[in-house]
């Protein structure tokens, strides 16, 4: 055990963990960050992020009342919640805080959500390009600032168990041997007054994925750091914490070839093709509402009995229109880096090229086109909406098909918290002294339509508010009760 009790232990050295640690150090505490990654440039979603700071695709300078309204429209389950209000009222603070820490932002495009993007931005070509880019610079800068303030980030340390003590908590920590991946070199007990869980969720744990997301976790692609194994969820549950809305994740439909071709993830994603055309499974039938967006599509593909059976069908107008939209669009990037795009002069000719029944697919496309022309998309099964994304007819040869997979970036559900990041039990009471922040926590995103608010803003807001609450309680000598 360490000689001197630490004020706060933070489990996870990603974006939310480092923001919280720096804010607490500013307030006079001695935070210790435990990061299981052993490398100097350990993977985490914060390091790999595209860096757009937004809330529901709205500028963070938008009036809080409007941001809160947008959050409610995105996820009806968040309407009126104190946590929703906290995110809306503190979104701008996140950008201000990061600027004060030395981060730079640029306007990266014409869309509102691109008004503040971490600099330097990632390049506009496919694949994973993170070294020296905004997210990587941010993580390295926050770590350096923490060290200057007297805080500590310990690599190769994985929190394994937690228990209450008379003065706070005791964590069992496995110190990983970097030369023997997955093998602890030693185990020790660390004492602290408060614990903040900031390990990013459970998207990389097959057991949790099978329990909450998909029957086939091996058939969805890790689109982010691939390091969040649900350790925080296990720690919190062992102390009676509640879990909320565990069935949703943030991600995008990708070309199936991304499993074998690293140039096809995390970009380009295929949202524009999906929301303009139709997606069918092996029976050539549609199985979800494409009009609810790409993030929703990724979730529905993951939930399908065979997540690798999804195929997007579209035509020349879609390929040359929405297919070219965005900084890294599927046209021309998917075929340019080796992704398979099937093409034919008729739907009947296209179908067998992706293993579909020509007569069934032709009928499904005809029904879709007829419903669209008649303004009766709601009559389809499943119904198709156009509120968020307009549907386009599939009528202009050549016709195209791309096999899809669901790319998962982070889980939206997680540990139940209040507006200050305090972990809540199933009866609504606090797990005193225990906090969860960022994408380890739930309660903002998700809901019936997998509403996406913005992982960076949620992470930054919850990190700042939890850090300030911890500091206030410790200054007031708050007693942790079991």
| pLDDT tens-place string over residues 95-120 | 999 999 999 999 999 999 999 999 99
Query: Tell me, what's the pLDDT at 442?
Result: 97
Section 173-186 average pLDDT: 74
Section 122-140 average pLDDT: 95
Are 188 and 264 part of one and the same domain? Answer: no
| Burial of 435 per CB tally in 10 Å (0-12, 13-18, 19+) | buried
Going by C-alpha positions, the residue among 430, 415, 426, 419 that lies closest to residue 482 is: 430
Q: Provide, rounded to the nearest whole percent, the portion of the chain with pLDDT above 90.
A: 94
Q: Please report whether residue 173 resides in a domain.
A: yes
Query: Tell me, what's the pLDDT at 2?
Result: 47
Are 333 and 436 part of one and the same domain? Answer: no
Are 172 and 230 part of one and the same domain? Answer: yes
Q: Please report whether residue 467 resides in a domain.
A: yes
In order, the DSSP letters of 289-308 are: -GGG-HHHHHHHHHHSSSTT
Going by C-alpha positions, the residue among 29, 4, 13, 14 that lies closest to residue 473 is: 29
Section 438-457 average pLDDT: 97
Going by C-alpha positions, the residue among 367, 391, 394, 389 that lies closest to residue 380 is: 367
Q: Please report whether residue 313 resides in a domain.
A: yes
Are 25 and 161 part of one and the same domain? Answer: yes
Residues 6+ apart with CB under 8 A from 265: 127, 128, 221, 223, 254, 258, 407
Section 130-150 average pLDDT: 97
Q: Please report whether residue 96 resides in a domain.
A: yes
Q: Please report whether residue 372 resides in a domain.
A: yes
Are 312 and 403 part of one and the same domain? Answer: yes
Q: How confident is the model at residue 245 (pLDDT cuts 50, 70, 90)?
A: very high
| Distance (Å, whole) CA 175 – CA 167 | 24
Residues 6+ apart with CB under 8 A from 356: 280, 282, 284, 311
Are 267 and 196 part of one and the same domain? Answer: no
Check whether the bond before 120 is cis (ω within 30° of 0): yes
Are 218 and 101 part of one and the same domain? Answer: yes
- The pLDDT tens digits of the residues spanning 365-407 come to 999 999 999 999 999 999 999 999 999 999 999 999 999 999 9
Section 320-347 average pLDDT: 97
| Distance (Å, whole) CA 120 – CA 51 | 9
CATH classification of the domain holding 368:
3.90.700.10
Query: Tell me, what's the pLDDT at 477?
Result: 64
Are 437 and 353 part of one and the same domain? Answer: no
Are 304 and 385 part of one and the same domain? Answer: yes
Task: Write down the pTM of the prediction.
Answer: 0.95
CATH classification of the domain holding 144:
3.50.50.60
Q: Please report whether residue 52 resides in a domain.
A: yes
Q: How confident is the model at residue 64 (pLDDT cuts 50, 70, 90)?
A: very high
331-334 — which CB contacts under 8 Å span 24+ positions?
Answer: 333/125, 333/126, 333/267, 333/268, 334/126, 334/255, 334/264, 334/268, 334/270, 334/402
Section 402-424 average pLDDT: 98
Q: Which of 385, 408, 431 is the last residue before a domain boundary? A: 408
Number of domains the chain is built from: 2
Least confident residue range of 71-80, 123-132, 177-186, 273-282: 177-186
Encoded tokens for 55: 């809330």
Are 235 and 174 part of one and the same domain? Answer: yes
Query: Tell me, what's the pLDDT at 384?
Result: 97
Q: Which of 371, 391, 408 is the last residue before a domain boundary? A: 408
Q: How confident is the model at residue 480 (pLDDT cuts 50, 70, 90)?
A: very low
Task: Residue 60: give the domain boundaries.
Answer: 6-246+412-475
> Does residue 461 contact residue 55 with C-beta atoms inside 8 Å?
no
Section 7-27 average pLDDT: 97
Q: How confident is the model at residue 309 (pLDDT cuts 50, 70, 90)?
A: very high
| Distance (Å, whole) CA 82 – CA 404 | 38
Q: Which of 368, 385, 408 is the last residue before a domain boundary? A: 408
Q: How confident is the model at residue 1 (pLDDT cuts 50, 70, 90)?
A: very low
Question: Does residue 32 register a pLDDT over 50?
Answer: yes
Q: Please report whether residue 481 resides in a domain.
A: no
Question: Does residue 132 register a pLDDT over 70?
Answer: yes
Query: Tell me, what's the pLDDT at 6?
Result: 84
Are 404 and 419 part of one and the same domain? Answer: no
Question: Does residue 181 register a pLDDT over 80?
Answer: no
Q: Please report whether residue 482 resides in a domain.
A: no
Section 112-130 average pLDDT: 95
Are 266 and 216 part of one and the same domain? Answer: no
pLDDT, mean over the chain? 95
């Amino acid at each position: 055990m360490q000689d001197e009790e630490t004020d706060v232990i933070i489990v996870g050295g990603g974006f939310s963990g480092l923001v919280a640690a720096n804010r607490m150090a500013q307030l006079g505490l001695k935070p210790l960050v435990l990061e299981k990654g052993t490398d100097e440039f350990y993977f985490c979603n914060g390091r790999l992020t595209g860096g757009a700071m937004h809330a529901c695709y709205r500028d963070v300078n938008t009036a809080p009342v409007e941001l809160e309204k947008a959050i409610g429209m995105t996820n009806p389950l968040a309407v009126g919640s104190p946590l929703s209000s906290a995110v809306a009222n503190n979104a701008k603070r996140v950008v201000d805080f990061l600027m004060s820490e030395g981060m730079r932002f640029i306007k990266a495009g014409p869309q509102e959500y691109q008004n503040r993007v971490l600099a330097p931005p990632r390049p506009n070509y496919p694949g994973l390009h993170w070294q020296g880019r905004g997210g990587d610079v941010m993580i390295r800068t926050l770590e350096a600032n923490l060290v200057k303030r007297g805080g500590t980030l310990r690599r190769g340390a994985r929190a394994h168990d937690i228990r209450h003590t008379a003065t706070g908590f005791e964590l069992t920590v496995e110190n990983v041997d970097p030369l023997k991946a997955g093998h602890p070199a030693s185990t020790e007990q660390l004492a602290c007054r408060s614990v903040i869980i900031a390990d990013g969720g459970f998207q990389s744990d097959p057991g949790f994925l099978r329990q909450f997301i998909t029957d086939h976790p091996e058939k969805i692609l890790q689109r982010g750091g691939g390091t969040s194994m649900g350790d925080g969820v296990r720690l919190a549950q062992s102390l009676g914490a509640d879990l909320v809305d565990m069935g949703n994740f943030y991600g995008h439909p990708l070309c199936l070839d991304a499993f074998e071709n690293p140039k096809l993830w995390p970009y380009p994603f295929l949202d524009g093709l999906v929301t303009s055309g139709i997606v069918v499974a092996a029976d050539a039938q549609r199985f979800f509402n494409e009009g609810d967006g790409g993030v929703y599509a990724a979730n529905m593909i993951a939930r399908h009995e065979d997540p690798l059976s999804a195929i997007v069908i579209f035509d020349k107008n879609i390929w040359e229109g929405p297919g070219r939209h965005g900084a890294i669009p599927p046209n021309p990037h998917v075929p340019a880096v080796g992704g398979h795009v099937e093409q034919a002069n008729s739907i009947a000719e296209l179908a067998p090229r992706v293993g579909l029944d020509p007569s069934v697919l032709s009928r499904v496309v005809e029904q879709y086109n007829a419903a669209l022309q008649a303004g009766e998309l709601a009559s389809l099964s499943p119904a198709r909406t156009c509120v968020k994304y307009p549907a386009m007819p599939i009528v202009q040869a050549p016709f195209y098909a791309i096999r899809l997979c669901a790319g998962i970036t982070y889980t939206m559900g997680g540990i139940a918290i209040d507006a200050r990041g305090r972990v809540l039990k199933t009866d609504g009471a606090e797990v005193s002294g225990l906090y969860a922040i960022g994408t380890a926590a739930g309660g903002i995103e998700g809901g019936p339509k997998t509403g996406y608010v913005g992982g960076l803003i949620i992470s930054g807001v919850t990190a700042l508010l939890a850090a300030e609450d911890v500091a206030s309680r410790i200054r007031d000598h708050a007693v942790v009760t079991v």
